[in-house]
């Protein structure tokens, strides 16, 4: 059985001319005919969510439809929806109304005030919580690589941050983010979550922002490490990689293969490296922890996933989409290219609006393309 998966994407709402974020989240939610378009903690954001899907073609159609619906609703309000994980222009974001948002502001202060960041969350279904925790324990060493592939936030309030994913840096200011240790069992997972909640720091389970966790709403593993991707193609790639990692990990667990004993501290360092350079430098090797070229690390990821991806008939498509990112560059690299051509962060946003609305490359063409060697 091929596991179902779902994808959530968070978009900025911007003025189509100036590129400045606009506080229209609740307005867009009311304007849209798309049932899975929702506002976020900040009014300058809107989120789309796919249905649970089995095939990459289905998830690609949902991602394209979600992006189109978000932008259509934004257009009706005189704005645009754009897949940028941080604003390229200075912004003072607007908190959404409601008691919980007010509690977040009171508890976390400037961290919540400045938290206008867009992520991409991938859900993969699990057969049981025991299997889900086994998956979490075994995919954790690969999550920094997913961050590097998705990196799409080089700018912060109009300034080049020097990071490929400054979203990860800003997001890490929350006290419940980042890499986790190895749990070993569902009981141990819930025990640790209970201890975190009993500290009184997070408001509730929804306030636990780990890089990957068991969803508290659905029978899924939820991977939350990635930036929202500039291109819909990259979102499809991310979803395929997460599902491949989940299935590979589940098989390792059933075969008695232990998780690789990398510490949470080492994984945080690997995520910092991915956040800093994306795919344009070295990444932390998932096994040795030492610096290694990004091309070599993503090749190791594909080798790790090859048996499952080939069995599911997805290897050629995933290879094509990954080669596309390596050739074109991550969202961060493309944003910097837009700035270099136009010498303005406004040009970054204008180009990003166009890229956001591009449909997914027909997956049949990707599957039938000549074999690419990574």
Tens of pLDDT, residue by residue over 211-260, are 999 998 999 999 999 999 999 999 999 999 999 999 999 999 999 999 99
Tell me the CA distances in angstroms from 163 to 91, 316, 331, one per residue in order.
19, 31, 12
Percent of the chain whose pLDDT exceeds 90? 89
Arithmetic mean of pLDDT, 115-128: 97
pLDDT at 36: 86
**Contact 79/21 with Cβ under 8 angstroms?**
no
In a domain, 21, yes or no: yes
Confidence tier at 370 by pLDDT (50, 70, 90): very low
How, if at all, do strands 209-210 and 177-178 pair?
parallel
Q: Give the Cα separation of 128 and 253 in Å (integer).
A: 13
* Dihedral (CA of 171, 28, 334, 87) sign: negative
Q: Residue written as tokens 């500039």?
A: 230
In a domain, 14, yes or no: yes
Average pLDDT, the chain: 94
Confidence tier at 112 by pLDDT (50, 70, 90): very high
Q: Give the Cα separation of 355 and 374 in Å (integer).
A: 25
In a domain, 238, yes or no: yes
pLDDT at 124: 98
Tens of pLDDT, residue by residue over 145-197, are 999 999 999 999 899 999 999 999 999 999 999 999 999 999 999 999 999 99
pLDDT at 360: 93
In a domain, 373, yes or no: no
φ/ψ of 51, rounded to 5, equals -75, 160
pLDDT at 86: 98
- The DSSP secondary structure of 64-88, one letter per residue, reads HHHHHHHHHHHHHTT-EEE--SS-S
Statement: residue 369 has pLDDT above 80: no
Q: Give the Cα separation of 278 and 232 in Å (integer).
A: 18
pLDDT at 30: 86
- The DSSP secondary structure of 253-295, one letter per residue, reads HHTTPPPP---HHHHHHHHHHHHHHTTSSEEE-TTT-SEEEHH
pLDDT at 69: 93
In a domain, 374, yes or no: no
Q: Give the Cα separation of 318 and 320 in Å (integer).
A: 5
In a domain, 199, yes or no: yes
Q: Give the Cα separation of 15 and 81 in Å (integer).
A: 9
Q: Which residues contact 160 (CB under 8 A, 6 or more apart)?
A: 154, 336, 339
The range of the structural domain enclosing residue 181 comes to 5-368
Per the document, the length of the chain is 374
Q: Give the Cα separation of 39 and 337 in Å (integer).
A: 30
More confident: 286 or 34: 286
Query: Residue 351 corresponds to which tokens in the numbers above?
Result: 């180009």
CATH number at residue 27: 3.30.590.20
Confidence tier at 368 by pLDDT (50, 70, 90): low
**Contact 84/118 with Cβ under 8 angstroms?**
yes
Statement: residue 373 has pLDDT above 60: no
Query: Which residues are registered as beta bridge partners of 222?
Result: 123, 213
Q: What is the CA radius of gyration of the chain?
A: 19
pLDDT at 31: 81
Tens of pLDDT, residue by residue over 46-83, are 999 999 999 999 999 999 999 999 999 999 999 999 99
In a domain, 273, yes or no: yes
Query: Residue 252 corresponds to which tokens in the numbers above?
Result: 């390792």
Confidence tier at 365 by pLDDT (50, 70, 90): low
pLDDT at 35: 78
pLDDT at 343: 79
Q: How many domains does the chain have?
A: 1
Arithmetic mean of pLDDT, 77-100: 94
């Amino acid at each position: 059985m091929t596991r179902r998966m779902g994808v959530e994407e968070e978009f900025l709402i911007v003025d189509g001319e100036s590129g400045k974020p606009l506080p229209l989240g609740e307005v867009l939610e009311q304007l849209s005919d798309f049932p899975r378009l929702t506002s976020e903690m900040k009014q300058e954001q809107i989120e789309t969510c796919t249905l649970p899907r089995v095939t990459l073609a289905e998830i690609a159609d949902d991602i394209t439809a979600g992006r189109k619906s978000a932008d259509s609703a934004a257009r009706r309000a005189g704005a645009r929806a754009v897949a940028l994980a941080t604003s390229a222009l200075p912004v003072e974001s607007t908190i959404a109304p409601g008691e919980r948002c007010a509690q977040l502001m009171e508890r976390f202060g400037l961290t919540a005030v400045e938290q206008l960041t867009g992520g991409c969350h991938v859900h993969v279904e699990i057969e049981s919580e025991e299997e889900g925790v086994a998956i979490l324990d075994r995919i954790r060493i690969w999550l920094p690589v997913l961050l590097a592939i998705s990196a799409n936030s080089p700018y912060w309030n109009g300034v080049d941050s020097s990071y490929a994913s400054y979203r990860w840096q800003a997001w890490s200011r929350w006290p419940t983010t980042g890499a986790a240790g190895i749990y070993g069992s569902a009981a141990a997972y819930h025990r640790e979550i209970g201890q975190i909640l009993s500290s009184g720091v997070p408001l509730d389970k929804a306030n636990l922002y780990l890089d990957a966790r068991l969803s508290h709403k659905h029978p899924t593993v939820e991977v939350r490490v990635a930036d929202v991707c500039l291109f819909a193609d990259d979102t499809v790639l991310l979803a395929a990689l997460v599902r491949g990692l989940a299935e590979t990990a589940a098989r390792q667990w059933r075969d008695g293969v232990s998780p690789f004993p990398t510490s949470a501290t080492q994984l945080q360092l690997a995520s910092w490296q991915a956040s800093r350079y994306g795919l344009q430098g070295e990444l932390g090797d998932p096994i040795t922890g030492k610096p290694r070229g990004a091309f070599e690390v993503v090749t190791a990821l594909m080798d790790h996933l090859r048996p499952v991806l080939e069995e599911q008939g997805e290897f050629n498509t995933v290879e094509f989409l990954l080669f596309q990112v390596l050739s074109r560059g991550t969202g961060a690299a493309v944003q910097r290219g837009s700035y270099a051509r136009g010498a303005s962060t406004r040009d970054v946003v204008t180009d990003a609006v166009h890229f956001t609305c591009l449909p997914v490359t027909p997956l049949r063409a990707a599957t039938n393309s000549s074999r690419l060697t990574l």
